Structure 1
Amino acid sequence: MNFKRSVFKFTNFSVLAGSLFFMGCGEKDKTTDTQKTRVIKVSHVFQTSEPTHIYISEAADKINEKLKGEIEFQVYPNGELPSYKDAIELVLRGSDFISVVDPSYIGDYVPDFTALVGPMLYNSYDEYTAVTSSDFVKDLEKQAEAKGIKVLSLDYMFGFRHIVTGKEIVEVEDLKGMKLRVPSSKLWIDTFNALGANPVAMPWSETVSALQQKVIDGTETTYSFMSNSKLYELRKNVSLSGHFLGTGGVYISTKVWDSFTDEQREVIQEEISAAAIRNNKKIVELDESFKSDIVKNGMKFNEVNKVAFQEKTKKVFDEFPGFTPNVYEKLQNEILKVRNK
């Protein structure tokens, strides 16, 4: 009887051990299968309805289709993953991660990237894309690579920014003492200080209520935000300063980039660049649509004295920490090449 019990126990143990072994093998195989596809997480702060998200997602879908089983791009909008400075730090650490953010955020490592998106530089989207294709910017990209940041694109534009107030702003003097909401950015704050305004740094989420309560006199933003946030219900004048061009860059760790095959790199670069072109075409269309909407709702446009605005903001380039001496002149030379064609 004891012998039978022992045999029974041994047999049960053998079956259990065998089951665990095969389960373990199954888990191992599962892990191996998962590891075959390398996941790259793509982070940005744009809403899902905005062109940058739409076209970055399109690029990701095409990359995933072409590199199926090898690499999978997963896009996270609305700041769901670390963004801004935190995102660039993840890139620098060599994470399987892509950040889509304003070039000024890699300006912390190569300061002239901040100058690239400095105040009162561009009159059109084409001027900006011509400059990003120049030898001057290609050299900046090499400097970024030396720091560990591979620039895949600088060209995901989302519009020029203009000044929204209750009155016309034509001359620089018209801004004197005006409380204008700006992002919490040294570049923005320095720019509006140079123009004689009183910049008030606050999140966009607080801007509408601040306008309603007259905590601020106005704000600066793009046509899309004027329309989507119904700013026409709060302020009626848009002064066409075009003081900044909103644009996003796409960045990945050089370690991660170098770990891809030549074919993988070619596919990724091709799709990211092509999607930027589609994004920018859409932005031109949307600009007209948003302008039409805000005019229909009572907003009025006026031109500003851009030469005077440029003269006042030039000192931002001269005084900003880390900028290369004469970087303003270098950028102007590149822009003039486009204007003189």
Structure 2
Amino acid sequence: MKKTLTTALLGATLLAGAAQADEIIFAHGENPGNPRFLAAEKWAELFTACTGGASTVNVAPSATMGDDAEMLTSAAAGVIQVTANSQGPMAQIVPEFGMLGLPFLFNDLPTAWAVLDGEVGEMLDQRAQNAGLKVIGFWDNGIRNVTHLKKNVSEPADLKGMKIRTPPDQMAVDIFEALGAAPAPLAWSELPTALQSGVFDGQENPLVNIYTAKIHEITPYVTMTGHKYETTPVVAGLVWWSGLDEATQACALEATAEAGKLQRQMVLDSDTDLRPKMEAEGAIFADADRDAYRAATASVYDKYAAQYPELVAALRQAAGLE
């Protein structure tokens, strides 16, 4: 059995559903049509089938359980069981997650997936467990590009003074400060209103997030900067996870992997499929001078290589940069 949790059900679920061992809340922040939304629905179907219907999965989309940081806190506290979350909030708890967003680290998504599905992913999971969270898989949040209200930003100089929203991610803030912009973090759910009110000149996200949230209708200038990658860690509360038998844990891992194949492919396909759709809807695209962007953000590597020398070196090698 699978139900979609709406705002109207939220209070009842907190009082009753979360306390029941056979009732699982899978929370995330995306709206219908986004790959994360569709993959969460698929996860619920797969997990329920694998466990023979022993558990009910309530999928709580669209930040109905709070923003990403709040969902991580809820998972650790046992209020929810699983969240498809974001790299920035995870980096606030496990700083090493932020290293995945080093500027221009991954040239393509399959390279990033291979790194996350190997020793780097295992290391990040171990760090997360120390904070009461269990990483059960890595979905995708794409390679990111910049949108602006009034202009394209093909050269780093075009960003000078730009008020740009970033996720709550120090790496993103550092990148845009190095580029001369004026970045500020804001929860994803609050972004459309902030853009419409003029708080920001623009924002950065993968095309799939821009399109499904209709951000291109507010900020129609889309520059393909490709400046950083972000993963979507699928995270369980460690207390809940530790109380599961091995068969149920295996079902959760299998559901995450299988739904992740769908989610990753959708994000990958969107990089080529969405540009013509968005152009037809009025978006104005430009390609960035990525060599200039790389040079302008080199200081970000210097900062984090000093803090995490072994991890940064390992990531550069795994990504094929060395």
TM-score grouping bracket, smaller chain normalisation:
0.7 to 0.9
Q: Do structure 1's residue 57 and structure 2's residue 36 form an aligned pair?
A: no
Partner deviation per Cα, 1:232-286 (whole Å, 9 max, x = no partner): 5665542211123343111112232222111111111111111101111122333
- Provide the rounded CA distance (Å) in 1 between the counterparts of 2:24 and 2:306: 32
CA radius of gyration, larger in: 1
Report the CA distance between 1:217 and its aligned residue: 3.8
- Cα 1:307–1:248 change in 2 (3 A) is same
Q: Do structure 1's residue 66 and structure 2's residue 53 form an aligned pair?
A: no
- Provide the rounded CA distance (Å) in 2 between the counterparts of 1:162 and 1:85: 23
Residue pairs, 1:162-177, within 5 angstroms: 162-165=145-148, 166-177=150-161
- Which blocks of at least 5 consecutive residues in structure 1 are unaligned? 1-34
Q: Are the equivalent residues in 2 in contact too, given 1:103–1:154 (CA < 8 A)?
A: no
Partner deviation per Cα, 1:203-244 (whole Å, 9 max, x = no partner): 312244245xxx644332332354456555665542211123
AA of the residue aligned to 1:333 = Q
Residue pairs, 1:1-341, within 5 angstroms: 38-95=22-79, 97-155=81-139, 157-165=140-148, 166-202=150-186, 203-210=190-197, 216-228=200-212, 237-319=221-303, 323-336=307-320
Q: Residue 106 of structure 1: SS of its match in structure 2?
A: helix
Q: Are the equivalent residues in 2 in contact too, given 1:40–1:74 (CA < 8 A)?
A: yes
- Which blocks of at least 5 consecutive residues in structure 2 are unaligned? 1-18
Q: Are the equivalent residues in 2 in contact too, given 1:83–1:99 (CA < 8 A)?
A: no
Report the CA distance between 1:148 and its aligned residue: 2.4
- Cα 1:69–1:176 change in 2 (3 A) is closer
TM-score (norm 2): 0.81
TM-score (norm 1): 0.77
Report the CA distance between 1:132 and its aligned residue: 0.2
Q: Are the equivalent residues in 1 in contact too, given 2:92–2:169 (CA < 8 A)?
A: no
- Cα 1:243–1:85 change in 2 (3 A) is same
Partner deviation per Cα, 1:134-191 (whole Å, 9 max, x = no partner): 2133122222223322111122x24322122344433322322233333454333222
* Superposition CA RMSD, Å: 2.9
Percent identity, aligned pairs only, is 21
- Provide the rounded CA distance (Å) in 2 between the counterparts of 1:232 and 1:144: 34
- Provide the rounded CA distance (Å) in 2 between the counterparts of 1:94 and 1:301: 44
